[in-house]
Every structure is written in C-alpha cells, then in structure tokens.
Chains A and B, each alone.
Chain A
Amino acid sequence: MTSKFAGVVAALALALAACGSGGGGTTGNGAPSGPGTATTIEIGSLYEPQNLDNTAGGGQGVTEAFNGNVYEGLFRLTDAGKVENLLAEGYDVSGDGLTYTFKLRRGVTFHSGKALTAADVKASIERVLAEDSQSARKGNLKVIKSVEAPDDATVVVRLSSRSISLVYNLSYVWIVNPAAKDLATGEDGTGPYKLEAWKRGSTLSLRRFPGYWGARPANDGVVFHYFTEATALNNALLTGAVDVITSEQSPDALSQFTGNPDYRISEGHSTTKLLLAFNDRKAPFDKPLVRKAVASAIDDAKLLQSVWAGHGSLIGSMVPPTDPWYEDLTSLDPYDVELARKELAEAGYPKGFRFTLDTPNYDPHPTAATFIKGELAKVGITVDINVITADEWYTKVYKNRDFAATLQEHVNDRDVVWYGDPDFYWGYDDKQVTAWVKEAEQARTADEQTALLKKANRKIAEDAASDWLYLYPQIVVASSKLSGYPVNGLNSQFYAYGIKKS
C-alpha cells in the first residue's frame, strides 16, 4: 500500500515537473494553459491602444489588436498585401467608375447578436466620414458622395470622382453596429473574437466569438500584454509570459533569441519609413540641390547598421517594396561626400549653413539626429538638435510648420500620395507631381495607376523632397511552439486567428 502510494506521488511529481519545465505552463501574466484546457495565445506588444475606436484617435494599438480580429471590413488586406472579399461577397463598378455596388455576405451577426444589414455598413462608412472623425483614412475616402442601402444585402456607394483605391481603402473601414454605445471603450463588431476585457496599462483580452460566420479561429482567445519598455517585453518572452512579440524594437536583444531553438525570428516587410523631412517652403531647403546635397552627405547604410544592426533596408524614396509602385531609387542620391560638397557650392552654400533639426524624443530619432549631425559636419553644415515631445511635434511642426527640418517615422503604406498635397506639413509643391497623384487615383486600371505613381515617386526622389533614411525592419519573435502568426504586420495589423500553439 505504501509503495503504491509512493508511486502515485512520484507520478504526480513527474507530471508536475513536466508541466513546469514545459514553459507553456503557468506564466507570470497569463492563465494556465496546456493540453485539455482552452488555448490562449499571449501576445506581447509595445503599442497599447489609446482608446478602442479608430475614428476617435485609437492609434496604432487599436489597429493591431482589433483589425480583422474584432472588427472586419468589407474587404481584408491580407498579410501578403492582397485585398480580398470579407464582409462583401463581391462588387460591381459602373462604366464611369463612379458607382460601386457591394453585395454583402449573408448570415453575419455582430457580437451582440444583431444581424448585419446594409444599413449598418452605410452607418459605418458615414462614421469614418463624419465631422468629428479622427480616422486616418478620412482624407482618402472624401471622394464618397453618398452611401445608400437599397436592400438589406446591397450597399451602393457613389463617388464624386473615380477612385481606384476605394476598395483598398474600404479594407480599413470597420463595420460596426451603429446601435452600440460607446465604441471608444467597448465594441460590437463581426470579427472572430470579441472583447473580453481591457485593463488599461496592462492587458487587452479577446475571446473567441462562438457565433462567428467564418472559419473557427485556431485558438480560443488571445491576450495582448502591453509593455512600455522593450527590455521588459523581451524578458517576458524569455520567461514564457508571452508567446510572441508583434514587433521587435530592440535589435540588441535579438542575439538572445538567435540560434536558440526555442524561438523563431521572422523578418517580414514593414511599411514604416524614417524620414528626414525638410520644410520645402523655406530656405535653404526650398532648393532641391541643397536637399540632394544633404541626402548625399548622409551614409544611410551606416545609420541603418548602427540603429538596426543590419536589419531593415534602404529604399531611396517614400515607396516600400510592398507598394505596387515600388522601384529601387537608392542610386539617385548616392552616399558621396564629394558630390554633396559640389552640390552645396553650386546651390550657393560653399561653406555650408546651420539649421535646427526638430527631433522627437523617442527612439530611434535621437540616435539618428546625432548621426546626421556628425555626417553633415563633414560638409560644413551645422545641425542644432532640438529634442521635442510627440505633442510638441504636432503643434510646432505639423500644425504651425515652424521648422527647418525634422525627423519622423511614417508608418502607413501607399503614403507617397502626401507629396501630391502642397498643404502637407513638409510643403512639397510640384504641379506635375500633384497632377500625377490625382490622375493616379482616377486611373481606370491598376497598371495605369502604378505607372503614374512610379513617375511621381521618381520625381520626388529626384527632387529629394525629403531624405528617406531607411525602411524599418518588421521583426516578429515567437516561441517555436507557435505557428500561423502574421510576419508582415502591414500597417501594424496583427491577425491572431491563425495562431496555433503546439
């Protein structure tokens, strides 16, 4: 009897030890998980939503947590960058390109149980266009003249002019239940997950929605754990408190994971560009030759090496390789100090000049500013680094345009079109580029659009409208037990429904 009992104890101890060393057992933050219990994926991120509404300034964080997971659009932008039908089953375009008729998927319900109708889609699109909307896509959708819902399954959108990106832009419009109250702190979407709880400053948890119309997610829920410090985030992955990091921002930390079979590092395509944006309205940067000289005086490759230790890439323009109109333009303003000196002399600044560089106070901007200061000193340009907060940046640079040059990361894809807007903060004003960008949006075919935007991109690069220092890497680090997670995270999206833990 006693030996039997000892055997049971030993077996229990072994089982416990196995659980403990499994790493996926009880973690600091998460619920216990393992075979037999529901699987929850613990996701580590640096981007907590500001609030839960992308038309009320929710920011990058809410896109990451909610796009495709809690809310769905008529269309989905896949991690590979393709646009496919989601809540729309298909659509027709009128001959003049001004009327789009969308057929809605049937049998879709919101998390509250209400069935999706065309009226909801109409209200959702109008929400983005509303006067108080803070949606980043509002400008792109301004061409929408009216939205109608002739029957429950049909939505008709009329445009004031052709818009070839309409379907693409609609992939960012969440279809919400307009009857839902307070979408800034709650939700009512149609996605595979519903919001379980948002504990501000700490976690946001999503549970699988049993009434989801589409394929059942590969897990029962996900929890986003928010960190303010990259080191703390890496430690959480190292101790098994999280299973995956959506976007590694600390290249120094990668060595902890490389060569370790317990982790997998994926480098996908990012759309975030680091810009040295000139104020193109004001001397000395109103002269393209001066801007070109600055671009040629800075060794971007060395900067990228020092900030990202070999990850990331040089693009030489505003267009990342995932945009259809990408072209490698790094050769236009090559790193060439002699050329920079020559161009400066030709522009009337043989002895250089002095300017203030408004630098946001968060990484990697201060590092880049110091590097640029050193590089430009070699051609006689003195840089005064003025470190500012994100808030000051919006007031001083973005609204008041009171700056000579600034550093800023631009995160969205397809944003070369800002160079077609002379009112944008950098004030690049070229009639030809403005016309090309406008024509591209009204193009009849994607090829036509691509050709026009290629021309525009080449022109801004030739003019060195800004200096595009580099394209960020998009690095996802995950436990090797995990599969099915997105690696590109285009525009900070992070679809969680395919993630499996073995």
Chain B
Amino acid sequence: MARYLLRRTAFLLGSLLAAAGLLFVLLRLLPGDPANALLSVGATPEQIAAARHQIGSDLPLPEQFWSWLAGLARLDLGTSFVSRLPVGPEIAARLVVTVPLTLLAFTLAVVVAVPVGFVAAWRSDRWYGLLLNGVSQLGIAVPVFWIGMLLVTVFALRLRVLPAGGFPRDDWADPARALTSLALPVVTIALVMSASLVRYVRSATLDVLGSDYLRTARALGSSFAGAMWRHGLRNAAVPVISILGIELATTFLGAVVVESVFTLPGLGTMLVEGIAEHDYPVIQGVLVVSTFAVLVIGFGADLAQRLVDPRLRAHVGGGRP
C-alpha cells in the first residue's frame, strides 16, 4: 500500500507539472492580447505599448514560463494582469464558496440518487419504478439555469423564504446565513447531478440483479436483502464510484452557470472572467488548482474502489504499469 501511495503521489505531481506546461503553451497560442483588457476607447499607441510592458507580456515566453514555474514552486500563483491582486488568495477566497457548494450538492445528490436509482431498478416493472426512471430522464434534459431560475422564482421571489443570490460579505462568519445563501444553488446542482446519477445507479443495480452470483446466493438460502448487502451493493458500487469521481470533478468548475444565476463568487466565474480578459495568471492559477483537485478526486475515487473491491487490491503487488 505504501508503494502504491508513493507511486500515485509521484504520478500526481508529474501530471500536475505536465498540465502546467501544456496550459502555459496552449494559452499563448490563443489569439488575443491581454493588454486589451486595460484599454479604453481612445487609447493611444503609446498607451497600448505601456499596457503590454506593465503586465510583462512583452517579455520573452521562456522567461515568463520560468518565472511562473518558480513562483508555483513557492506556492505563489502570481498577480492578476487586470485586477493586480495576487491570484492565490483570490482563489482561496473563491474556494470558500466553491468547495462547500460542490460538496453539499454532491452529498445531497448521492443521498437522493442512490436509493432512488436502486428502487428504479429493483421495481423497474412497477409504475413508480417507471415514474422514477422517467423523472430522471427529464432531469437530464432540463438545462441547469432553467432549474435555477425556477427555484429563484418560487422560493425567492414568490415565497420569499430564501435569498435570490449572493453570498455574505463576511463569508462563513454567520454559518446559518452562508448556508441559506447556498441552499438554492446546492439544490439546483444536486437536482441535475442526481438525475444522471440515478441513471448510473439504476443500470449498475440492474446488472447486479440479473447476475448469476446473486441468483446463486439466493439459491443457497440467502434472503434477497442479505444477498444484496453481501454481494450486490459492493459490485454495483464499483462503476458508480468512478462516475461519482467524475461528477464531483465536473461540478468543481462546471458550476459556473449556477454561480452566474445566483451571483456566487465562485471559482468557475473567476475562470470565465479570466479567459475573457486573457488574464493569464488568473487562468493558469485556477486551472492548476482545479487540475490538482481533479487529480486528488480521481485518487480518492481510486482508493474508494479498492476499499470496496478486494480484486483491485490484489493487483497492487502485481506490478501494474
């Protein structure tokens, strides 16, 4: 296990470095001039040149890359071209919103989707099994911003029980208020996420229900619940866990639409604004942090799979490439 962890950590750092290099090059290949974000209509050619010089985009590329990498090694993500604020602390400020948002939505989605998906599979021939299946398909088809706007209309504008958007200025100083601000966005993301999760849980459960080993276990005298508990759920969990890892990683940055509908100062919004302004340090910073998060989540999903599936553990010593 120690060797496995070591190898995974080395792999994680290597991927991060490769991603950072690739990111840097790809960003520079995009057409556009980061100095443009600072200009106003009426800017003179001298002002344009001054803007380039100010942000350092007139320096040679290797020089820019090395100084960025050196900063990265010191955990310094640089300074935004546009806002002149250090990127690291701003990302930290956004994570205060994005991480709870993602984790709460994820937890809610799992809590809802796993039993619902199970019932939809177990009772796929009953009317409510069919209904759950249908509702989950509908959930996949409906765009996320529409669900968000619907929830705002009902809970914020009509019933006035929850805020329409925004996040407290003092963040989590008052946890109840912060949670209230996150309520609707969390539900929005959880609804969309659970809609697709239900489908995965359902098909994984259907596979298990039709499997030979479950039938054999029943034939050997296990109750349905006992067989399901001992053999079924474990087997069904393996594919679902990898999907969960992907869903969690996607939500981390993919919440940008929800952030915009609810005016949340999250990481996705920061990235989108950075891209619009060609603010390289911001884009690079957000992507490095999110790449790291995605790699860690993948790592976590991998570990979780090993815990539920002894067959994967058996391969550890087997010298997988």
Q: Do A and B come from one complex?
A: yes
List 9 tightest A-B contacts by C-beta distance, closest first: A28-B163, A57-B38, A184-B84, A201-B265, A29-B166, A235-B164, A394-B36, A202-B265, A136-B40
Q: Contacts A134-B50, A138-B44, A227-B263 hold; do A202 and B36 have CB atoms under 8 A apart?
A: no
B50, B83, B180, B276: the one within 8 Å of A391 (CB): B276
Q: B33 — nearest CB in chain A belongs to which residue?
A: A395
Can you list 7 residue pairs at the A/B interface with Cβ under 8 Å? A29-B166, A131-B46, A139-B44, A201-B265, A201-B266, A225-B263, A236-B165
Residues of chain A contacted by B44 (CB below 8 angstroms): 138-139
Q: Can you name 19 extra interface pairs (CB under 8 A) apart from A27-B163, A199-B265, A235-B164?
A: A28-B163, A29-B166, A50-B82, A51-B84, A57-B51, A132-B53, A134-B40, A136-B43, A184-B83, A185-B84, A226-B263, A232-B262, A235-B152, A235-B156, A235-B157, A236-B165, A391-B276, A399-B45, A415-B42
B51, B53, B167, B263: the one within 8 Å of A229 (CB): B263
B156 CB, min distance to chain A CBs, angstroms: 5
Q: Indicate if B85 sits at the interface (CB-CB under 8 A).
A: yes
A53 vs B263: C-alpha distance when bound (angstroms) = 24
B51, B152, B164, B278: the one within 8 Å of A134 (CB): B51
A 408-446 contacts with B by CB, 8 A: 408, 410-412, 415, 418
Q: Indicate if A200 sits at the interface (CB-CB under 8 A).
A: yes
Of A200, A236, A412, which is in contact with the most chain B CB atoms at under 10 Å from its CB?
Answer: A200
A182 vs B85: C-alpha distance when bound (angstroms) = 10
Q: Indicate if B260 sits at the interface (CB-CB under 8 A).
A: yes
Q: Indicate if A203 sits at the interface (CB-CB under 8 A).
A: yes
1/0 per position for A193-214, CB-CB distance to B under 8 A?
0000101111101000000000
B164 CB, min distance to chain A CBs, angstroms: 4
Q: Indicate if A133 sits at the interface (CB-CB under 8 A).
A: yes
Binding site for B on A (CB under 8 A): 26-31, 50-51, 53, 56-57, 59, 131-134, 136, 138-139, 182, 184-185, 197, 199-203, 205, 223, 225-229, 231-232, 235-236, 238-239, 241, 389-392, 394-395, 398-399, 408, 410-412, 415, 418
Q: A392 — nearest CB in chain B belongs to which residue?
A: B32
Q: Contacts A28-B181, A136-B42, A392-B31 hold; do A239 and B163 have CB atoms under 8 A apart?
A: yes
Residues of chain A contacted by B157 (CB below 8 angstroms): 235, 238-239
Residues of chain B contacted by A133 (CB below 8 angstroms): 47, 50
A48 vs B169: C-alpha distance when bound (angstroms) = 15
A30 vs B169: C-alpha distance when bound (angstroms) = 7
Residues of chain B contacted by A200 (CB below 8 angstroms): 83, 85, 90, 93, 265
A276 CB, min distance to chain B CBs, angstroms: 15
1/0 per position for B257-288, CB-CB distance to A under 8 A?
00011110110011001001110000000000
A182, A203, A229, A394: the one within 8 Å of B33 (CB): A394
> Could you tell me if B160 and A59 are in contact, using CB atoms closer than 8 angstroms?
no
1/0 per position for B72-93, CB-CB distance to A under 8 A?
0000000000111100001001
> Could you tell me if A228 and B38 are in contact, using CB atoms closer than 8 angstroms?
no
Q: Indicate if B293 sits at the interface (CB-CB under 8 A).
A: no
Binding site for A on B (CB under 8 A): 31-33, 36-48, 50-51, 53-54, 82-85, 90, 93-94, 149, 152, 156-157, 160, 163-169, 177, 180-181, 260-263, 265-266, 269-270, 273, 276-278
B83, B84, B165, B260: the one within 8 Å of A28 (CB): B165
Residues of chain B contacted by A223 (CB below 8 angstroms): 169
A226 vs B37: C-alpha distance when bound (angstroms) = 18
A444 CB, min distance to chain B CBs, angstroms: 26
Q: Contacts A185-B84, A229-B263 hold; do A29 and B169 have CB atoms under 8 A apart?
A: yes
A60 vs B90: C-alpha distance when bound (angstroms) = 22
> Could you tell me if A139 and B42 are in contact, using CB atoms closer than 8 angstroms?
yes
Q: B272 — nearest CB in chain A belongs to which residue?
A: A228
For the residues of A in contact with B, the DSSP-based class is loop
Q: A408 — nearest CB in chain B belongs to which residue?
A: B41
A244 CB, min distance to chain B CBs, angstroms: 15
A56, A134, A226, A410: the one within 8 Å of B84 (CB): A56
> Could you tell me if B270 and A241 are in contact, using CB atoms closer than 8 angstroms?
no
A295 CB, min distance to chain B CBs, angstroms: 21
A466 CB, min distance to chain B CBs, angstroms: 13
A218 vs B42: C-alpha distance when bound (angstroms) = 36
Q: A411 — nearest CB in chain B belongs to which residue?
A: B41
Residues of chain A contacted by B165 (CB below 8 angstroms): 28, 232, 235-236, 241
B98 CB, min distance to chain A CBs, angstroms: 11
Residues of chain A contacted by B42 (CB below 8 angstroms): 136, 139, 412, 415, 418
Q: Contacts A131-B50, A132-B50, A201-B265 hold; do A225 and B41 have CB atoms under 8 A apart?
A: no
A205, A235, A236, A399: the one within 8 Å of B48 (CB): A399
B33, B45, B47, B269: the one within 8 Å of A201 (CB): B269
> Could you tell me if B41 and A134 are in contact, using CB atoms closer than 8 angstroms?
no
A398 vs B36: C-alpha distance when bound (angstroms) = 10
Residues of chain B contacted by A203 (CB below 8 angstroms): 169
A132 vs B84: C-alpha distance when bound (angstroms) = 15
Residues of chain A contacted by B164 (CB below 8 angstroms): 28, 232, 235-236, 238-239, 241
> Could you tell me if A134 and B82 are in contact, using CB atoms closer than 8 angstroms?
no
Q: B50 — nearest CB in chain A belongs to which residue?
A: A132
Q: Contacts A201-B269, A236-B165 hold; do A134 and B83 have CB atoms under 8 A apart?
A: no
B45, B90, B167, B169: the one within 8 Å of A205 (CB): B169
A182 vs B169: C-alpha distance when bound (angstroms) = 23
> Could you tell me if A57 and B181 are in contact, using CB atoms closer than 8 angstroms?
no
A197 vs B54: C-alpha distance when bound (angstroms) = 25
Residues of chain B contacted by A418 (CB below 8 angstroms): 42
> Could you tell me if A391 and B84 are in contact, using CB atoms closer than 8 angstroms?
no
A377 CB, min distance to chain B CBs, angstroms: 29
> Could you tell me if B169 and A202 are in contact, using CB atoms closer than 8 angstroms?
yes
Q: B156 — nearest CB in chain A belongs to which residue?
A: A239
A157 CB, min distance to chain B CBs, angstroms: 21
Q: Contacts A50-B83, A185-B83, A229-B263 hold; do A241 and B41 have CB atoms under 8 A apart?
A: no
> Could you tell me if A185 and B163 are in contact, using CB atoms closer than 8 angstroms?
no
> Could you tell me if A29 and B163 are in contact, using CB atoms closer than 8 angstroms?
yes
Residues of chain A contacted by B51 (CB below 8 angstroms): 57, 134
Of A53, A134, A227, A415, which is in contact with the most chain B CB atoms at under 10 Å from its CB?
Answer: A134
Residues of chain B contacted by A197 (CB below 8 angstroms): 169
A18 CB, min distance to chain B CBs, angstroms: 15
Q: B43 — nearest CB in chain A belongs to which residue?
A: A134
Residues of chain A contacted by B50 (CB below 8 angstroms): 131-134
> Could you tell me if B169 and A50 are in contact, using CB atoms closer than 8 angstroms?
no
A53 vs B156: C-alpha distance when bound (angstroms) = 36
> Could you tell me if B263 and A228 are in contact, using CB atoms closer than 8 angstroms?
yes
